[in-house]
Amino acid sequence: MAPPAHRHQSFLEGLIDFCAQQPLFADANELARAIASFHRIVSHFEAIETANRRPGKLYNRPALVRLTFEFARSSESQDRFLAFFFQALAVSMLDDDVDLGDLGEPLFGIADFLMTNFFLPRTLSILHPFSLLPPIEAN
């Protein structure tokens, strides 16, 4: 099993292609358009989510997606996250005429996926200090 610090990284490597050699964007203009589209989509749903607080939910799902993108450690990581985001929404990164009405459920699905599979531990046993000790064999 991978060490706890790398467990999430290895999980995401199966979903996001970190090995792609060619750049995702032809130039800085394409990158700027993709980022602007990302922010437009996320901001739209972040405002809705803030206005319609859900009982029992302690986080804003579009904000989680936005912050995951913004806190990516490198520009290449941000590029890969953008590719993952738009692929999950089934929308072109460079499409300026995206119908936002159809993107709510997929966006919330991305946030729930990130929370469940990346930010939360897979099992509660890794939180228990005794889980790191080897099992005791009965004599």
pLDDT digits (tens, 9 = 90+) for 121-133: 766 545 545 444 4
Residue 6, in any domain of the structure: no
| Residue 127, helix vs strand vs coil | helix
Whether the predicted pLDDT of 3 surpasses 80 = no
Average pLDDT over residues 36-51: 92
Tally the domains of the chain.
1
Residues 6+ apart with CB under 8 A from 33: 93, 94, 96
Please give the residue range of the domain that contains residue 41.
Answer: 26-120
Q: Please check whether residue 98 is in contact with residue 85, taking contact to mean a CB–CB distance below 8 angstroms.
A: no
Whether the predicted pLDDT of 41 surpasses 90 = yes
Residue 55, in any domain of the structure: yes
Residue 100, in any domain of the structure: yes
Residue 7, in any domain of the structure: no
Residue 125, in any domain of the structure: no
**Residue whose structure tokens are 């060490």:** 3
Mean pLDDT lowest among 47-56, 105-114, 122-131: 122-131
Task: Indicate the helix (H) or strand (E) that contains 42.
Answer: helix 28-51
First vs last Cα of the chain: how many Å apart?
27
Which has the higher per-residue pLDDT, 48 or 97?
48
Task: Count CA atoms within 13 Å of residue 7 on its CB side.
Answer: 13
Q: Which of these, 25, 23, 51, lies nearest to 37 by C-alpha position?
A: 25
Rounded Cα distance, 109 and 129, in Å? 32
- 134: confidence class by pLDDT, cuts 50, 70, 90: low
R_g (Cα) of the chain, nearest Å: 18
Residue 8, in any domain of the structure: no
Question: How high is the pLDDT of residue 127?
Answer: 52
Mean pLDDT lowest among 5-9, 21-25, 50-54, 97-101: 5-9
Question: How high is the pLDDT of residue 131?
Answer: 47
Whether the predicted pLDDT of 7 surpasses 50 = no
Residue 108, in any domain of the structure: yes
